[in-house]
Structure 1
Amino acid sequence: MPKETFFHLTREKQQRIMKAAKKEFSKVPLGEASIAQIIKDAGIPRGSFYQYFEDKDDLYFYYFQNMRRNSQQELNTAMAKANGQLFDGFEIYFTKMVKEVLQGENASFYRNLFMNMDYRSFHKVAPHFGKPRGDSHADPARQVHKESMQEFYNMIDLTTLNVQNEDELKLLVKMLMHIVFSTVAEGYRQLVGKDNFDVEVVLKDFTLKLNWLKSGAIKSKVKN
């Protein structure tokens, strides 16, 4: 999260910094991004940057969270539409999310994110796995995040799942989220060298993986 001094800036200056961040992070992956270029585009001194953020990672993940602040709620909404059916809810969520990520106005940023994603960045950006700093009682954002997570788990119909407790449910959700992110990354890899591609192919791949996890990939033996 940005330092307190960032939030004391005028709205115009905050937006200028975010616009510079979008430009740089859409052009190159986080590891190759240049703070020098960001402060040049934002029109701020280098010393000021470190008054607002710890480092470029701090700015990067704040920019992402600011852009996708409703991601958790979108997952909750999808689960509500699916009447608590976990796999159906993820299919609804993915169908909406993948079109925004692959074809929306921030597609270039997402491309750099997903094609260079590692364990750390996954846990930073995936719904449910981010861990806001600070005590939840003192930090309203952390408390809202925690309540939204619990709302999601409370909506799931456990009678249709082979899980024994909430810890096992969280592990299953984590597996599903890995499938979401890996399928998006594969979609971007399919785009390499092409002007465009059919999103339906990505949706088909996701549904196949979902069905394998839900029903198994091994055929049942036919009894004589």
Structure 2
Amino acid sequence: MPYETFFNLPDEKQKRILEAAKKEFSQSALKDASIADIVKDAEISRGSFYQYFADIEDLYLYYFHTLGKDNHKQLLLNLRQHQGDLFATFDDFFSHWILEIFKGENVLFYKNLFTSMDYRGMHKFMPFADKKMHRKATTAQRKKLENDQKAMLEAVDRTLLDVKSEQELQLLLQLLIHITFSTIADGYRYHFENGYYSTQQISKDFRLKLNWLKNGAQRDKKVKENNE
């Protein structure tokens, strides 16, 4: 989360910094990204950069969240449309988000993000999971994050799930988001390495994992005995 000094900048200057971030992060993974190139393109000093962000990862996370600022609204809308059915919601959301990820205007950024993402990095990009962002957020920003999380949890129909507490529901949400991110990462790695990718196959893989989580991957013993 940027420091308050960033949000006090004129909109044009904020936009210029984010455009410089887009350029750098679209051609380099986070570990290879250059602050020097960003400040040059943004026409700011290196000292100014550190008045706005703690480090380059701080800017990277913020840029990612600006791209996904409407995703929470869409996920919540889908959840309400599906009457709180969490699995139907993620199925619906994934089918739309994957087009943005693989065919949208930020495809190069997402490619660098997901092909270089490990488990630790994945956790940082999960909604509500980044404690660093919560600590640095202003009171108003923190309140919004808390309200967003509360609205999401309240919209879920818990009678459809085997969860016994809010903590368990949060764990399930994190697991669903992990499956979402890891499926996209696999799609980039394996399909781009072979010179092509198929959003249909990636969606098929996601639905298979979703179905395993929803219904279990172990065959019922009685069904197995009948088939034999």
* TM-score between the two structures when normalised by the length of structure 2: 0.90
Letter in 1 for 2:57: D
C-alpha distance in 2, partners of 1:150/1:119?
Answer: 25
Over 3 Å counting, the alpha-carbon distance change for 1:187 and 1:135 in structure 2 is closer
The Cα offsets for residues 14-73 of structure 1, whole Å up to 9 and x where unpaired, read as 211111110111111101101111112112222221222211111111111122112222
Letter in 2 for 1:129: A
Over 3 Å counting, the alpha-carbon distance change for 1:20 and 1:75 in structure 2 is same
* C-alpha contact (below 8 Å) 1:179/1:206 kept by paired residues: yes
The offset of 1:190, in angstroms, is 2.8
Relative to structure 2, which stretch is displaced further, 57-66 or 205-214? 57-66
C-alpha distance in 1, partners of 2:114/2:177?
Answer: 13
Relative to structure 2, which stretch is displaced further, 78-87 or 44-53? 44-53
| Alignment correspondent of 1:190 | 190
1:1-224 matches, within 5 Å, as 1-131=1-131, 132-134=133-135, 139-193=139-193, 196-222=196-222, 223=225
Letter in 1 for 2:65: Q
The offset of 1:134, in angstroms, is 4.4
* C-alpha contact (below 8 Å) 1:71/1:127 kept by paired residues: no
* TM-score between the two structures when normalised by the length of structure 1: 0.91
Over 3 Å counting, the alpha-carbon distance change for 1:207 and 1:116 in structure 2 is same
Letter in 2 for 1:58: D
The offset of 1:151, in angstroms, is 1.3
Letter in 1 for 2:15: Q
Number of matched residues? 223
C-alpha distance in 2, partners of 1:19/1:12?
Answer: 10
Letter in 2 for 1:217: A
In structure 2, list runs of 5 or more residues that go unmatched. none
The Cα offsets for residues 120-178 of structure 1, whole Å up to 9 and x where unpaired, read as 43233212323343498x61121111112111111111112112122111111111111
C-alpha distance in 1, partners of 2:135/2:168?
Answer: 26
Q: What do you get for the CA RMSD once the two structures are aligned? A: 1.9
